[in-house]
Amino acid sequence: MNPIHVGGQAVIEGVMMRAPKALAIVVRRRSGQLVSKEDEWRSLSERWTFLKWPIVRGPIILIESLINGIQALNFSANQALEDEGEAEKPMNRWVLSATFFVAMALGLGLFVALPHILAAWALNLTTFKHGVDSPWFHAADGFIKILFFWAYIRLISLHGEIKRIFQYHGAEHKAIHTYEHGEALTTENARKYSTVHPRCGTSFILLVLLISMIFFATVFAFMPGLPDMNPLGRNALFILYKIAFMLPIAGFAYELIRWSAKKKRTSVPARLLMAPGMWLQNLTTHEPSDRQVEVALEALTRVIEIESRNKPHDIIL
């Protein structure tokens, strides 16, 4: 039997695991007790099968993962508040939607609009004066995006709580490696595996940034602009172009991540494609304790049980 396609996310003192039709969140309370939340999950692609098409499925999975991630972080934060003797109501649908759209707006602002503006400002200071129709402009823009992403990870890693989340991130990967190698889900088996994984979200984001840099540098010289627009309007137009292309680029990056994860043992190009993201994961994953690995394995065990009830036949990746 092929393993179920499982992904995960580290949360505050815990791990969320998600399968195609189920998700489970397990958090360790300060008392040592493990608290869980389990749900069946129905993706939009189960309702509209065209959303399973290559390229199309990537953005859908990304959006659903963001929603699940916000819900999981909310659950884990509430457990932390209860440890402090406080209580907070779970997010309702409106608060969840607002949080999602604010997160998307901040992400687009930080990693699309701001790098473009800084590239325009920086190149204007040089003697080259490359405009938005120049490949050099978008190469500079892409470099700034990647620099921002690296700096963001380095900055948040200074916070003590984030360091623990990065340990749970490593635990999540060790648990998934154990499962994908067909071993029993025990701490002893998981301990020997790496904290990095080819299908990690960190690798995915970096690949999106790299592809967008190459795509914009090679294609945007031929994108239609309005000759009579002032520089501000022209830059605004190209920022909108970039936002519009982010979902298809994310879809393409998702297909490359899936392909490289399957071919990593037999394909040199796949290993080269994975290399930058695997290196970056050394910043976003830390070696976990056995207790943290135990949490990840519990979440994985629970999500597999729920998924098996929903889908008892073999699942082909």
Task: Return the domain boundaries, the chain.
Answer: 7-310
5, 22 contact by CB (below 8 A): no
Q: Check residue 300 and give its pLDDT.
A: 97
174, 195 contact by CB (below 8 A): yes
Neighbours of 23 (CB within 10 A): 25
| Least confident interval from 125-134, 177-186, 258-267, 269-278 | 125-134
Q: Mutual orientation of helices 135-156 and 201-219 as an angle, nearest 10°?
A: 160
pLDDT at 84 over 90: no
pLDDT at 92 over 80: no
| Least confident interval from 69-78, 119-128, 274-283 | 119-128
pLDDT band at residue 312 using 50, 70 and 90 as cut-offs: very low
| Least confident interval from 132-141, 173-182, 288-297 | 132-141
144, 119 contact by CB (below 8 A): yes
pLDDT at 313 over 80: no
The first and second tokens of residue 116, run together, are 């473009």
pLDDT band at residue 314 using 50, 70 and 90 as cut-offs: very low
pLDDT band at residue 85 using 50, 70 and 90 as cut-offs: low
Percent of all residues in the chain with a pLDDT value above 90, rounded to a whole number: 50
CA angle 61, 254, 221 (to 5 degrees): 120
Residue 301: closest CA among 186, 209, 208, 136: 186
Q: Check residue 283 and give its pLDDT.
A: 93
Q: Check residue 39 and give its pLDDT.
A: 87
CA 61 to chain centre: 10
| Least confident interval from 65-74, 278-287, 293-302 | 65-74
pLDDT at 204 over 80: yes
pLDDT at 236 over 90: no
The residue-averaged pLDDT of 254-265 equals: 89
Q: How far is CA 167 from CA 67, 150, 188, 230, 289, in A?
A: 22, 18, 17, 49, 8
174, 308, 202, 74 alpha-carbon torsion, rounded to 10°: -100
pLDDT band at residue 288 using 50, 70 and 90 as cut-offs: very high
pLDDT band at residue 315 using 50, 70 and 90 as cut-offs: very low
- The length of the chain in residues reads 317
pLDDT at 89 over 70: no
Q: Check residue 262 and give its pLDDT.
A: 87
pLDDT in tens, 211-225: 999 998 888 767 665
Q: Check residue 210 and give its pLDDT.
A: 93
Element (H, E) at 93: helix 93-108
pLDDT at 86 over 70: no
pLDDT at 311 over 60: no
pLDDT at 188 over 90: yes
pLDDT mean across residues, the chain: 86
Task: Give the pTM.
Answer: 0.88
pLDDT in tens, 39-51: 888 888 888 888 8
The DSSP string of 18-76 is EETTEEEEEEE-TTS-EEEEEEE---HHHH-GGGGSTTTHHHHHHHHHHHHHHHHHHHH
pLDDT at 138 over 60: yes
Residue 8: closest CA among 143, 170, 217: 170
The residue-averaged pLDDT of 90-102 equals: 72
Strands 34-40 and 22-28: antiparallel
pLDDT band at residue 197 using 50, 70 and 90 as cut-offs: very high
Q: Is the dihedral of CA 177, 181, 187, 193 positive or negative?
A: negative
Q: In a 3-state reduction of DSSP, which class is residue 190?
A: helix
